[in-house]
Amino acid sequence: MSIATSPTANTTQGPVSNAEFAKYIKYFQDSHKAIVKWNGILSNAPPSGITLKATEDEEEITLRKADISKYSQIFLSELNDLKRVWTQKKRKTNRTSQQLKSLYYVSDQLVAFYKGANLGPIDPATGKGKLSDQLALITEKRMATSGILMSLFALYIKVNGLKSESGRFLPDERMKKAFATTNFRLNKVDMSKRKIPAGTPQDKADAVTEKISMGKKSALERISRRAETNGKKMYDEDEGLLYTSMCIINNYFRIPPVLLDEGEKSELSTEDNIEQAQELQQILTSIKNYKQ
């Protein structure tokens, strides 16, 4: 065993996947077992050590207690590599979590969809209280987080029995009506009329311009042109929508930050609004975790 053999030694390209990290853990588990095993074998060996039989292409190897001590030090050194990889992985997870919690403005179409929508009770155990009455963050302030919208969308599908036999979900009339257009509107203001600020990176400006150009199309029309990486259509009129389409549809109604003025931007980071978002997410998480 040497430092060069550590699979973490050359990991410098940022966060790793769960599968990759699992391989690293197995490497260190196997290394630790080998050190413990050989330490036990050599505990009663003479100072000269023991000689390991060689294969045809290799020379005989003499293993001493000092070698195990050296390998143990290398092992501890390699653990620092594992700590570094874990820090990178955790940083990625934290970024993803933060993105789900970041407030942004949603377009009027999404507000109309959730205003008075059948989302079931606040308390599934007693059936009391309407969840739709607790959505002031969305219906009044026009704000949401990705986490909140994903939770609400999934709950709407479940409560209204929209899951199809194929494992997809079927859009109902409320959804079709609310999502008939995808242009950016905030409190009845046509945000597409606003100018993209000078100095905005060209790729970002082009992306926003393209989104604005698609505003007259419905969400279902736009998503019907998309396909998953496995080739399956996102939307099939007979079988319905893939569940992964929820995130895409939500993003159709996410107003780009470059279209906001400074006052609107500052409202997204006020303590009251952040706290209101956290409270709503807690309610949604409680409903999701409820087991009958």
Structural domain boundaries, residue 47: 3-101
| Judgement on whether residues 136 and 257 belong to the same structural domain of the protein | yes
| Judgement on whether residues 47 and 179 belong to the same structural domain of the protein | no
pTM of the predicted model as reported, rounded to 2 decimal places = 0.66
| Judgement on whether residues 66 and 136 belong to the same structural domain of the protein | no
254: β partners: 106
CA distance 168 to 155: 14
CA distance 169 to 228: 16
Per the model's pLDDT, the better-predicted residue between 240 and 97 turns out to be 240
Say what the pLDDT of residue 178 is: 96
| Judgement on whether residues 45 and 97 belong to the same structural domain of the protein | yes
| Judgement on whether residues 16 and 70 belong to the same structural domain of the protein | yes
Place of tokens 């939307």: 235
Average pLDDT of the residues of the chain = 85
Task: Give pLDDT tens digits for 198-211.
Answer: 999 999 999 999 99
Say what the pLDDT of residue 16 is: 56
| Judgement on whether residues 149 and 120 belong to the same structural domain of the protein | yes
Say what the pLDDT of residue 192 is: 93
| Judgement on whether residues 136 and 270 belong to the same structural domain of the protein | yes
52: β partners: 61
Please report, rounded to a whole number, the percentage of residues in the chain having pLDDT higher than 70.
84
| Domain count across the chain | 2
| Judgement on whether residues 58 and 134 belong to the same structural domain of the protein | no
Is 3's pLDDT higher than 50?
no
Per the model's pLDDT, the better-predicted residue between 1 and 18 turns out to be 18
CA 171 to chain centre: 24
Q: What average pLDDT does the segment 17-29 reach?
A: 74
Do you know the residue count of the chain?
292
Is 4's pLDDT higher than 50?
no
Domain boundary among 101, 135, 158: 101
Task: Give pLDDT tens digits for 24-61.
Answer: 788 888 888 888 887 877 777 777 777 766 565 666 77
Domain boundary among 101, 134, 158: 101
Say what the pLDDT of residue 201 is: 94
Say what the pLDDT of residue 46 is: 79
Using only C-alpha atoms, what is the Rg of the chain? 28
Residues near 106 by Cβ (< 8 Å), separated by ≥ 6? 138, 142, 143, 144, 149, 253, 254, 255
